[in-house]
């Protein structure tokens, strides 16, 4: 078998490079990271004619080999380093027929590196509409290369491209432009000092702004003596080089590239006029945001319900099918519950990335950046921070992933760090239950106090994000050259295949990346909650049974059994009255007796579960942290709920349901609310959930970093534990202090 | 200092004369923002920042601070070419 051909895709952003990659590889691709950095690495396999296989690497988009970002330097590094295992045998330079001139700049640079290069001219389908004609044969000759004219939209030209790749050995690897003309003496000296090195490579190494990592370190060290020219002088040389290249390109294109000036250009101009308009632009953006918000918030609740239901019944099924024991419990309550916790986020993530990729593919996203940049700048954020911040109101996980579009590392880091302050949907159930407990029902100019409180909490979340961004902007000493050049690409109809692949890849990387950690934490939580040291835990059943025999059920359960039975009796009498069915007195008594037995068994099971939890490791932990949470107005039970919420906030309600052992499981919020309202502080004899402790809880949840999944994603995106740990500590300490102050003032 | 890109109004055009600052991002040059090329102002965001231009066929947005560095020769008439 012949060896695989290494192919690198390189090209300007917005040329459809990813579309070409998708066409070549299909779903035969995998997305990872370059070792040690957060730059995304996309690679795939493509079958070529005559049984040859190609390994295709999709390099980050770049305008030239003069790098300005980490992404771009990855591309250059690979092209310079012959020893890299991915060093390409052949480079495909992807260009867009409408911006051919600019794309050719990069092409001439690649040719100067003496790497065989094929020029791929994409978007051929737009030629007739934009009145462009290209003399391919002559262009091939002048550029000393082979050209593939493709349309990824119409899926044409791909076969010829594959042929060309397979024949890469026939390609010329001679440079196009002699750049030494810009400073002949300088280059001569350089060549004399390093007779074995390639001049253009030397030049690249000398002029780079970005500090290259491992490439030929010795080369850099020795060549620094040639950087003696002042920085601005080097810049001027680079400028000259660019001009020389453009002169060459202009000369060629004059003969081979014709644009009919009469062809319609109005579409773009008209759309731009509306979408970047001072008033309409913002209105349109606002409506798009509303739609996204609605989708993530509302539409995804349907698949989420299905997922929840599916895993709940899967857990039940396992419990009923497998022999009961610790192993079955681990599967049903640890693993299945954990996987369910991961799967639950899938609809939200998929929806968010569906919208983001539609907005990006269509070219609209650049317009949002344009509209918002100035408004975000005072806070150390950029126009590109808007989308993550907004999507954070649904879920911080996809929001953090969406920051990848921000090139400036400092702006991106600040965005990642402050996004978890925005009120995500997992906080909502906590807010709702506490608000209904402690905020009175009155109205203020037609608005209910409860709704106002909820709105206030959303505003507090945004405020905290913006203000901490401002603070971080001041204290973070990160040098990243802050310039802002955003291309405003032409509007395009998004390609279904690209959108589908993006959604699939992002969702997959969440499930397997963050998912692992969520699963691990769920299993740990399950273990801590279902195991205990002492006999108190092991003999929970007999202890509770004995207690019920001697003292009866807890006050709450007693009362609830009583009301349930009265209601049951009523409905029974009602049915008899309506002649739904006929029963004699003894049958009625029997039926009530049966109902009572069922209710009592339920109550007993709940009290056992409650007793177990109280004496589990988790219960001990709750009691251990009680001194810490007492100043905030919480008891050990709330303490446990807060503690488990560090895995995920939505666990709060479920944990309280287990602790207070109320019927109907987690879904029965009404009963939980009643039960919580009845809870009394043993010292003060006042309700445990009062205005002071309630507000304190609300504020704690508003600020604390209680989401393992987000931490996991932040770790992945920043590639270090430093930032997620800082986030966890800072946000949680801040939350504690605010909650403390609130409680101490209000109590 | 002469006229810069920041002085253009919507639809106005100019020819790039020179750059006030050598440290202008090289990316801008590569996108075609070079002396002798024509710049057209497409749109300005509220607060006059950023500025959306068409230079040499490249449509790009730059911040005002960058635009102030690009000096121009105005093309008075909008119907050139």
Q: What are phi and psi of A680, to 5 degrees?
A: -120, 140
8 Å CB contact between A94 and A20: yes
Q: What pLDDT does residue A635 have?
A: 85
Q: Are residues A50 and A95 in the same domain?
A: yes
Say whether B25 and A373 touch across the interface (CB within 8 A). no
Say whether B61 and A490 touch across the interface (CB within 8 A). no
Residue finishing a domain among A144, A170, A196: A170
How far, in Å, are A16, A47, A168, A328, A497 from residue A26 at the CA level?
Answer: 15, 11, 22, 41, 9
Q: Are residues A29 and A90 in the same domain?
A: yes
Question: Nearest-CA distance from A65 to chain B in Å?
Answer: 10
Residue A485 has its nearest CB partner, among B27, B42, B46, at B27
Say whether A484 and B32 touch across the interface (CB within 8 A). no
Q: What pLDDT does residue A590 have?
A: 87
Separation of alpha carbons A5 and A168, rounded Å: 9
Q: Are residues A108 and A150 in the same domain?
A: yes
B15 interface with A at CB cutoff 8 Å: no
Q: What pLDDT does residue A577 have?
A: 84
B16 CB-contact burial (10 Å; exposed 0-12 / middle 13-18 / buried 19+)? buried
8 Å CB contact between A495 and A357: no
A390 assigned to some structural domain: no
Residue span of the structural domain in which A58 resides = 5-170
A448 assigned to some structural domain: no
Per the structure, the count of domains in chain A is 3
A142 assigned to some structural domain: yes
A397 assigned to some structural domain: no
Separation of alpha carbons A275 and A297, rounded Å: 26
Q: Are residues A234 and A138 in the same domain?
A: no
A107 assigned to some structural domain: yes
Q: Are residues A713 and A742 in the same domain?
A: yes
Walking along chain A (747 residues) 10 residues at a time, the average pLDDT comes out as 81 88 83 62 87 89 79 80 84 91 91 91 86 90 91 90 90 83 82 79 72 46 58 79 90 87 73 91 88 75 86 85 81 77 79 84 89 89 84 80 77 92 83 85 79 87 93 83 78 88 81 70 77 77 82 78 86 83 81 86 80 82 88 87 80 71 48 73 76 93 89 85 94 95 92
Say whether B50 and A484 touch across the interface (CB within 8 A). yes
Question: Nearest-CA distance from A276 to chain B in Å?
Answer: 7
A446 assigned to some structural domain: no
Q: Are residues A10 and A130 in the same domain?
A: yes
Indicate which of A368, A484, A487, A489 best probes the interface with B, i.e. most B CBs within 10 Å of its own CB. A484
Say whether A373 and B49 touch across the interface (CB within 8 A). yes
Q: What pLDDT does residue A482 have?
A: 60
Q: Could you say which DSSP state residue A156 is in?
A: B
Q: Are residues A66 and A188 in the same domain?
A: no
Q: Are residues A108 and A130 in the same domain?
A: yes
Q: Are residues A185 and A213 in the same domain?
A: yes
Q: What pLDDT does residue A386 have?
A: 85
Residue finishing a domain among A141, A170, A199: A170
Q: What pLDDT does residue A700 have?
A: 95
A332 assigned to some structural domain: no
Residue A102 has its nearest CB partner, among B32, B46, B52, at B32
A550 assigned to some structural domain: no
| CATH (domain of A108) | 3.40.50.300
Report the helix count and the strand count for chain B, using DSSP H and E: 2, 5
Separation of alpha carbons A432 and A427, rounded Å: 9
Question: Nearest-CA distance from B14 to chain A in Å?
Answer: 19
Q: Can you tell me the ipTM of this complex? A: 0.91
Q: Are residues A730 and A655 in the same domain?
A: yes
Q: What are phi and psi of A566, to 5 degrees?
A: -60, -45
Question: Nearest-CA distance from B67 to chain A in Å?
Answer: 11
List, in order of start, the domains of chain B with CATH numbers.
5-75 (2.30.30.90)
Nearest residue in B to A484, CA atom: B62
């Amino acid at each position: 078998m012949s060896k695989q051909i290494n192919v690198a895709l390189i090209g300007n952003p917005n040329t459809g490079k990813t579309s070409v990659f998708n066409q070549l590889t299909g779903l035969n691709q995998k997305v990872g990271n370059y070792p040690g950095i957060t730059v995304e690495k996309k690679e795939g396999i493509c079958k070529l004619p005559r049984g040859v296989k190609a390994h295709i690497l999709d390099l980050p988009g770049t305008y030239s080999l003069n790098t300005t970002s980490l992404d771009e330097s990855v591309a250059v590094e690979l092209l310079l380093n012959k020893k890299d295992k991915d060093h390409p045998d052949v480079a495909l330079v992807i260009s867009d027929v409408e911006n051919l001139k600019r794309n050719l700049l990069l092409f001439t640079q690649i040719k100067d590196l003496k790497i065989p290069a094929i020029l791929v001219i994409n978007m051929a389908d737009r030629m007739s509409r934009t009145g462009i004609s290209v003399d391919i044969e002559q262009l091939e000759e002048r550029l000393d290369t082979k050209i593939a004219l493709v349309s990824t939209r119409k899926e044409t030209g791909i076969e010829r491209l594959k042929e060309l790749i397979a024949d890469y050995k026939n390609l010329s690897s001679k440079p196009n432009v002699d750049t030494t003309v810009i400073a002949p003496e300088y280059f001569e000296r350089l060549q004399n000092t390093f007779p074995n090195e390639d001049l253009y490579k030397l030049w690249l190494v000398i002029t780079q702004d970005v500090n290259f990592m491992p490439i030929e370190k010795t080369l850099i060290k020795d060549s620094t003596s040639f950087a003696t020219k002042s920085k601005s002088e080097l810049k001027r040389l680079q400028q000259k080089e660019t001009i020389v290249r453009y002169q060459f390109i202009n000369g060629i294109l004059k003969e081979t590239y014709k644009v009919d000036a009469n062809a319609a250009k109005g579409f773009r101009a008209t759309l731009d006029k509306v979408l970047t308009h001072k008033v309409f632009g913002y209105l349109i953006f606002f409506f798009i945001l509303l739609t996204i918000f609605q989708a993530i918030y509302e539409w995804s609740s349907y698949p989420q319900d299905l997922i929840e239901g599916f895993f709940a019944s899967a857990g039940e099924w396992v419990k009923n099918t497998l022999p009961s024991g610790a192993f079955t419990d681990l599967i049903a309550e640890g693993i299945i519950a954990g996987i369910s916790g991961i799967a639950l986020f899938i609809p939200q993530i998929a929806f968010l990335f569906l919208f983001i990729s539609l907005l990006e593919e269509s070219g609209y996203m650049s317009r949002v950046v344009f509209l918002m940049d100035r408004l975000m700048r005072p806070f150390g954020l950029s126009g590109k921070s808007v989308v993550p911040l907004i999507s954070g109101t649904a879920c911080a996980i996809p929001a953090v992933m969406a920051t990848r579009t921000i090139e400036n590392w400092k702006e991106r880091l600040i965005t990642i760090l402050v996004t978890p302050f925005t009120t995500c949907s997992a906080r909502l159930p906590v807010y709702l239950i506490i608000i209904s407990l402690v905020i009175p029902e009155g109205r203020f100019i037609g608005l209910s106090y409860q709704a106002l409180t909820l709105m206030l909490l959303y505003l507090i979340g945004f405020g905290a994000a913006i203000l901490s961004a401002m603070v971080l902007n001041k204290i973070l000493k990160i040098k990243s050259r802050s310039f802002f050049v955003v291309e405003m690409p032409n509007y395009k109809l998004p390609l279904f295949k690209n959108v589908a692949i993006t959604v699939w890849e992002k969702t997959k990387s969440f499930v397997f990346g963050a998912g692992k950690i969520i699963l691990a934490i769920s299993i740990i939580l399950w273990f801590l909650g279902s195991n205990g040291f002492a006999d108190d835990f092991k003999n929970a059943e007999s202890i509770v049974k004995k207690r019920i025999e001697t003292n009866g059920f807890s006050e709450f359960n007693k009362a609830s059994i009583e009301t349930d039975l009265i209601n049951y009796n009523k409905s029974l009498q009602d049915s008899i009255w309506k002649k739904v069915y006929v029963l004699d007195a003894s049958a009625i008594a029997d039926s009530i007796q049966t109902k009572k037995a069922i209710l009592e068994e339920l109550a007993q099971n709940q009290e056992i579960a409650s007793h177990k939890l109280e004496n589990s490791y988790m219960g001990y932990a709750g009691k251990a942290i009680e001194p810490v949470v007492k100043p905030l107005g919480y008891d050990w039970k709330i303490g446990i709920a807060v503690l488990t919420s560090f895995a995920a906030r939505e666990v709060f309600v479920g944990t309280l349901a287990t602790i207070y052992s109320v019927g109907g499981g987690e879904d029965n919020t009404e009963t939980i609310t009643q039960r919580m309202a009845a809870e009394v502080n043993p010292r003060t004899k006042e309700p445990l959930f009062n205005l002071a402790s309630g507000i304190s809880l609300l504020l704690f949840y508003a600020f604390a970093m209680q989401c393992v999944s987000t931490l996991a994603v932040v770790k992945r995106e920043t590639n270090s534990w430093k930032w997620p740990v800082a986030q966890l500590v800072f946000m949680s300490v801040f939350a504690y202090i605010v909650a403390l102050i609130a409680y101490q003032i209000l109590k | 200092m002469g006229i810069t890109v920041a002085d253009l109004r919507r639809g106005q055009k100019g020819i790039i004369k020179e750059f006030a600052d050598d440290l202008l991002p090289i990316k801008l040059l590569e996108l075609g923002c070079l002396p002798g090329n024509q710049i057209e102002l497409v749109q300005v965001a509220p607060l006059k920042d950023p500025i959306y231009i068409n230079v040499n066929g490249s449509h790009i947005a730059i911040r005002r601070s960058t635009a102030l560095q690009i000096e121009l020769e105005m093309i008075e008439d909008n119907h050139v070419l």
